[in-house]
């Protein structure tokens, strides 16, 4: 019998275990261990940053499964390295791998603030809540130096435009000054994603994100500053972290969160193979059971993108999770009504500086 070929050692501190080729590349490639490097330690993978040339900053959608019709994503790719991230397949459009490339080759929008200002100034622009971070995290580690997200929220504050933002990073507290001012005017809400309270599991599946404790602390400090906070238990992974739904919601409620949401694990396109590879490596004792349960909530497949089901799944396993979540939400008081964000305060930018447009102001 031929000997099985083993994968090359995965880099330290990353979520994906390989750099599998994206679906649009003509040549398929995959690293493997030829036996000569058995004693070699896994190497660190350096993050590469590249500025994007963008014409617009606000993305529009008509999806019935999300609660907003416009969003801003300051980054493509995310060095948090969350193995389950549903944004991974987008890197294939760039000719890159949804695996390690996604978390090590990061694209950012250096002129995000200027682009946003121009779009808000367009004649006929009608304000409505903008969601920041619908794909990749707006507070991933390199935001500390790049400050792209900070640019965006400064512009939104300048023109009194309402927005929501989601992150799993404690770096959100850097901008507490803006959030506290805007929350007082009913212009901002923050969602914190907390998938587990288990530090070991968090390090495994979200290697460069803030620890669970740091995220709970972010909820507390935002709340103390008057900022409305929602906690997102996302993704809920059957057989891996779903047993923690009550614990996560209780901890978030004690820290001051006022609302909660959840999303069942989504494994579109290349993510399914990357996720299974990660399970076999980091959690081999649970790999088969987890994938069996995942398929049970997706009509026997790794993923099914049916409207109305793709966020929560379907079937008995999904229904039990849904019931547990809603019972916990009620038990811990996370069903408080939200005051709508106020779009009536929006004042359009007046571009042109000292140009002719200002002469008629």
Could you read off the pLDDT of 127-171 as tens digits, one per residue? 999 999 988 999 999 999 999 999 999 999 999 999 999 999 999
| pLDDT one-digit tens code per residue, 257-307 | 999 999 999 999 889 999 999 999 999 999 999 999 999 999 999 888 787
Q: Say what percent of the chain tops pLDDT 70.
A: 88
Chain-centroid distance, C-alpha 144: 17
Asked if 152 contacts 132 with a C-beta cutoff of 8 angstroms, the reply is yes
Asked if 332 contacts 258 with a C-beta cutoff of 8 angstroms, the reply is no
Radius of gyration for the alpha carbons in the chain, expressed in angstroms and rounded:
21
Query: pTM, whole model, 2 decimals?
Result: 0.87
- The predicted pLDDT at position 89 comes to 92
- The predicted pLDDT at position 19 comes to 78
- The predicted pLDDT at position 352 comes to 65
Residues 295 and 274: their CA atoms lie apart, in Å, by 16
Taking CA 155 as the corner, what is the angle to CA 74 and CA 153, rounded to the nearest 5 degrees? 50
* DSSP secondary structure code for residue 317 in this structure: H
Mean pLDDT, the chain, whole residue set: 88
Residue 121 has pLDDT above 70, yes or no: yes
Please, which residues have CB within 8 angstroms of residue 225's CB and are 6 or more apart in sequence? Answer: 176, 179, 180, 183
| pLDDT one-digit tens code per residue, 253-265 | 999 999 999 999 9
Q: Which structure tokens are listed for 299?
A: 């009509």
- The predicted pLDDT at position 30 comes to 55
């Amino acid at each position: 019998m031929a000997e099985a070929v083993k994968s090359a050692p995965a880099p330290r501190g990353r979520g994906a275990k390989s750099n599998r080729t994206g679906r649009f590349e003509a040549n398929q490639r995959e690293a493997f261990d030829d036996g000569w490097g058995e004693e070699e330690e896994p190497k660190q993978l350096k993050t590469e940053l590249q500025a994007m040339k963008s014409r617009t900053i606000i993305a529009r959608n008509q999806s019935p499964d999300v609660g907003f019709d416009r969003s801003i994503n300051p980054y493509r790719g995310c060095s948090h390295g969350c193995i389950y991230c549903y944004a991974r397949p987008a890197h294939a459009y760039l000719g890159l791998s949804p695996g390690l490339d996604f978390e090590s080759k990061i694209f950012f929008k250096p002129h995000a603030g200027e682009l946003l200002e121009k779009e808000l100034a367009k004649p006929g622009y009608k304000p409505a809540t903008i969601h920041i971070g619908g794909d990749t995290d707006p507070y991933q580690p390199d935001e500390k130096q790049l400050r792209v997200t900070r640019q965006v929220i400064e512009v939104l504050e300048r023109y009194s435009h309402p927005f929501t933002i989601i992150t799993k990073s404690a770096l959100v507290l850097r901008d507490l000054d803006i959030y506290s001012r805007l929350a007082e005017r009913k212009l901002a809400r923050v969602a914190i994603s907390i998938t587990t309270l288990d530090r070991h599991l968090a390090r495994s599946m979200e290697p460069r994100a803030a620890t669970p404790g740091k995220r709970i602390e972010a909820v507390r400090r935002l709340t103390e500053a008057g900022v409305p906070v929602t906690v997102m238990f996302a993704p809920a992974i059957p057989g891996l972290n779903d047993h923690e739904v009550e614990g996560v919601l209780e901890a978030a409620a004690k820290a001051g969160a006022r609302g909660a949401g959840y999303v069942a694990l989504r494994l579109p396109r290349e993510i399914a193979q990357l996720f299974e590879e990660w399970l076999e490596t980091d959690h081999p004792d649970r790999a088969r059971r987890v994938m069996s349960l995942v398929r049970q909530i997706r009509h026997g497949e790794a993923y099914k993108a049916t409207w109305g089901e793709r966020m929560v799944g379907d079937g008995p396993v999904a229904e039990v999770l849904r019931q547990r979540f809603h019972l916990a939400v009620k038990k811990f008081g996370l069903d408080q009504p939200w005051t709508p964000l106020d779009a009536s305060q929006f004042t359009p930018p007046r571009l042109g500086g000292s140009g002719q447009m200002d002469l008629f102001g």
